[in-house]
A and B are shown apart, each in its own frame.
Chain A
Amino acid sequence: MSVLEIIDLKTWFQTQDGLVKAVNSVNLRIEKNERVGLVGETGCGKTVLSFSIIRLLQPTTMIEGKILYKSKDILKLSEREMQKIRGKEIAMILQNPTTALNPVLKVGDQIAEAIWLHQGLKKKEAKEKAVEMLEAVKIPLAEKRANEYPHQFSGGMKERALIAIGLACCTSLIIADEPTRGLDVTTKAQIIKLMKDMTKQRSMLFITHDLEVAAEICDNIAMMYAGELVEYAKTDDVFKNPLHPYTQGIFNSLPNRGLKPIKGMSPSLIDLPSGCRFYQRCDYAREICKNRHPEMVEMENGHFVRCLLYD
């Protein structure tokens, strides 16, 4: 039984400028203890996809499809039932550590409240466990730090504190949204190690811009482009044999592989092209790509790609 199975998920926002189709027909499966990397450019819908899973989008959002968590469709759960899942079964580590911690509450208390809520401990015991969590994410002088406020923490420490909140009670699935963004090289390496060590017994959806970071942590990689998945494979396969021109383009833009950025910009999610969404930026684009929207096809065992080159 998969921990998470997303089936044909669409997440759209009605805005004044039009319908923003942020997530389009996404299918994704995460097995027990599996770590899946979700990689894509800014604005391609990674965060919206994760908020759809944990159901923290405003009520006016249009969500279609199924999100099966241990075979249960969480899109059908009531808010009450969802609250029992959040933080306990599925936890989310938000993207921006400078804004994701409450400035007027002590860091220790922000961890403790999750523990107190889900594990039925007394406040004092929860606080002790919170200190243990801070130790686990390698914050020095954890006892003292637990009584400090977020503004007294450095960027890397805030990220650690956020990870501690996410991992405090969560046993099953962690969604980590860009936990390494904006960190210096050393801190980044430490956070990567931490994420790897701490999620050994858990499943994880790891969101990042950075293929190399994904490669260090994840078993499988899903490439996302303009609201849809365009390639999915084992990490090794993606690195040895990237199939989609977009994935290849991302590789070519890496510093050690030529630093050649993909030309152009991704299409607006309000006005998506009817054919291939990568058409305008693709070096292999043909006439047919302009009007035909490719389906996801399985090329080799477990290696999926959405491109007419392989049709």
Chain B
Amino acid sequence: MRAEYLIKRVFYSVLVFFITVGITFAVLRQIPRSYPGLDKSVIAQYFVYIYNVLQGDWGYSQGVPVLGLIWEKLYWSLIILVPAISLSLLIGILVGAHFGWKRGSKMDASVLNVMMFTRAIPPYWWAIMFILIFSFHLDLFPLGGYMSISALDRGISYSDILYHSALPIITLTVYSIPGTYYLMRNSMLLTVGEDYILTARAKGLSEKYVLFKHVLKNAMLPMVTMIPLECAYLIAGNIFIEIIFSWPGIGLLTFDAIAAKDFSLLQGIVLIDALLIIIANFSADLFYSHIDPRIKVGGGNV
């Protein structure tokens, strides 16, 4: 049943959370430094840590509470991540669906090549290229940062942030479109070859109807499970983007934490990344159970 499935999912999410916390705890504990409860046993320390985390006490970084610091930076990261994820999913799925449907055309082959090329290039290369072309030569966007100097007098404005965030968003989107596109195209190719598509055509349904009613819904199923992976991929890629664009988000914070060997902060960052991905996974599961009837009802003979 549906409720049972959900309880299972919640249980797994919590489990994954504790395991992640455990691993970060174990790894970072290998590094000699002082932290609360050092005099107690390892297990006790782990539980103290968990207890503190749940209480919202994520430790201190140079006297500042880690959670507060992360929270503030997360906001900036999301300004880039949310549009980049939405845009790359939207574009990747549309382009992938289109060329999966029109497979084998000349255009399909060229797009596939371009996408594979794009995918092979690391995100920082795109970042540097885009800065060179759009900021340096064309002067369309700022070189980096998150607001203009004039904002010091006039106060921070949305349009100014948008202006500064555009290039990082574009870079991250370009970097992650190929993955989505490729999966969607593949999923389309598999679905189009299914027997039930032939049954649909044998009814005399138009190609358009077959596409929208029969192919797309099935082809989207694997995409839903893949969205959390895409998020993880983007969060990782975003570190480079933020460093190069000096964007004050989690990515830049990660870089600073590593440079300063600030392990409490690093631990907090790993934790927040894990949480984001767990939440993404859980939402995907929820959504999946809505669109795939085989999960919604359960039981029955498969």
Contact = CB atoms under 8 A, between A and B. Distances in A.
Closest 4 CB pairs of A and B: A87-B204, A86-B204, A87-B203, A152-B300
Nearest to B299: A152
Interface string B98-121: 000000000000000000000000
Interface string B38-76: 000000000000000000000000000000000000000
Contacts of A102: 196, 199-200, 214, 218
Contacts of A166: 202
Contacts of A84: 204
B2 interface: no
Contact of B204 (A88, A95, A149): A88
Interface string B278-302: 0000000000000111100100111
A99 to B, nearest CB: 4
Contacts of B199: 94, 100-102, 110, 162, 165
A85 B218 CA distance: 26
B195 A113 contact: no
B198 interface: yes
Contacts of A20: none
A183 interface: no
Contact of A117 (B198, B203, B291, B302): B203
Contacts of A101: 196, 199
Interface in A95-137: 95-96, 99-106, 110, 113-114, 117-118
Contact of B202 (A54, A103, A154): A54
B301 A154 contact: yes
Contact of A56 (B201, B213, B292, B301): B201
A151 interface: yes
Contacts, number: 87
Interface string B190-232: 0000111011111111110100011001100100000000000
Interface in B162-211: 194-196, 198-207, 209
A80 to B, nearest CB: 8
Interface in B140-155: none
A152 B196 contact: no
Nearest to B197: A102
Given A83-B206, A151-B302, A103 B218 contact: yes
Nearest to A114: B203
B198 A83 contact: no
Contacts of A154: 301
Contact of A113 (B198, B207, B213, B302): B213
Nearest to B199: A100
Nearest to A118: B204
A4 B214 CA distance: 30
A222 interface: no
Contacts of A86: 201-204
B300 A56 contact: no
Interface in A150-173: 151-154, 162, 165-166
Contacts of A113: 203, 205, 209, 213
Contact of A83 (B204, B217, B292): B204
A86 B205 CA distance: 8
Contact of A103 (B196, B200, B203, B206): B196
Contacts of A152: 297, 300-301
Contacts of A104: 217-218, 221, 291-293
A104 B194 CA distance: 13
A117 B208 CA distance: 13
A110 B301 CA distance: 19
A103 B293 contact: yes
A83 B202 contact: no
A223 interface: no
A92 interface: yes
Given A104-B293, A149-B297, A151-B301, 7 more contacts: A85-B204, A95-B195, A102-B218, A103-B293, A104-B291, A113-B205, A151-B300
Contacts of B214: 102, 105
9 contacts: A51-B198, A86-B202, A87-B204, A91-B202, A91-B203, A94-B198, A102-B200, A117-B205, A166-B202
A306 B243 CA distance: 78
Residue of A96, A104, A110 with most chain B CB atoms under a 10 A cut-off: A104
Interface in A18-54: 51, 54
Given A83-B206, A86-B204, A88-B204, A94 B195 contact: yes
A188 B289 CA distance: 35
A99 B204 contact: no
Nearest to B217: A104
Contacts of A88: 204
A94 B300 CA distance: 23
A100 B218 contact: no
B221 to A, nearest CB: 8
Nearest to A80: B206
B294 A83 contact: no
A92 B202 contact: yes
A93 to B, nearest CB: 8
A203 B206 CA distance: 25
A28 to B, nearest CB: 19
Contact of B203 (A95, A96, A151, A165): A165
A100 B196 contact: yes
Contacts of A92: 202
A57 B297 CA distance: 35
A162 B214 CA distance: 16
Residue of B203, B214, B217, B297 with most chain A CB atoms under a 10 A cut-off: B203
A24 to B, nearest CB: 23
